[in-house]
Every structure is written in structure tokens, then in C-alpha cells.
Amino acid sequence: MSHRIALASDHAATAMKAELADWLRAAGHDVLDLGTNGPESVDYPDYGYRLGKAIETGEATFGIALCGSGIGISIAVNRNPAARCALVSEPLSAGLAREHNDANVIALGARMIGIEMAKACVTQFLETAFLGDRHVRRVEKLSNPERSPA
């Protein structure tokens, strides 16, 4: 199944983003590259916010956020209530992020994992369906914290 996938990165992850974009296109996916595309230092929140917005507006069904560790950009993406971004470093987490959390974005750390592990994570993420059922109530609370009694 083909998807529209948005990719965003800071300067630390441009090489991984470019390789993933080419690989995804070769697999038949429509790729939206939200930058950055060079080694000049940039602020990862700017690109994380772009990715969150692309998910919110429906420009993309799924997203892949990349920075050196994956941490900062994942925090930025999650500032948008429409985005559910999970930082993953191996396929099991990527699959569980989809199954249990209906994650629509994964974050990867380009300084933490290699390209083959990144591809394995993306593959698992895209091939795993949300389980629904008892998880629906919980996922709805992620985007609507006012529904939580806490």
C-alpha cells in the first residue's frame, strides 16, 4: 500500500533523510520533503512543527522526523495535537507505536542508529495497523487531554 509520507530533519540527519526519501520513493510512496537539506545548523523545532502541521492538514498520512538523537524533533512534532510521534530505535517499538498508540509519526536519531535499522523501523511502522479496541479511548486522550480525569 502506498502512502504520502512527510520527512523532516535538522542538519544532523540530512543524509539519513535523503536516503530514506529515495528508498521510500523507490517503494512507491509519495514523499513530501520538509527540509532541511544542508549541513548548516538549523533549529530542529522549526522542522518538527512543519511535520506536525503536515499531519494536521492532511498533507501527509504518516511522517518521519529525524535529528541527531530523535528526541528534540519528536518533542516538537508532539506539540501539534494531531500528531502522535514516537521515538523508536528498533522495529518492535515502531510496531507497538502503531498497534497501541496509532502513531502517525516516528522519530529516528541519525546519530543513534544506522540506515539499515532506520529502514527496518520504517518498514515495521508502515506495515503495522492500529489495533483499535481498548486503545481507541487512550489514543483519543492523547490529542484531547481535557478528556482525562487527571
The residues carrying an active-site annotation are: 67, 100
Q: Please, what is the angle between helix 91-101 and helix 115-127, to 10°? A: 30
28 three-class SS: coil
**Distance from C-alpha of 15 to C-alpha of 112, rounded to nearest angstrom:** 14
Q: Do residues 76 and 49 touch, judged by C-beta distance below 8 A? A: yes
Name the H helices within the chain: 14-26, 44-57, 71-77, 91-101, 115-127, 135-143
Q: Could you tell me which of 87, 44, 82 has the C-alpha nearest to residue 64?
A: 87
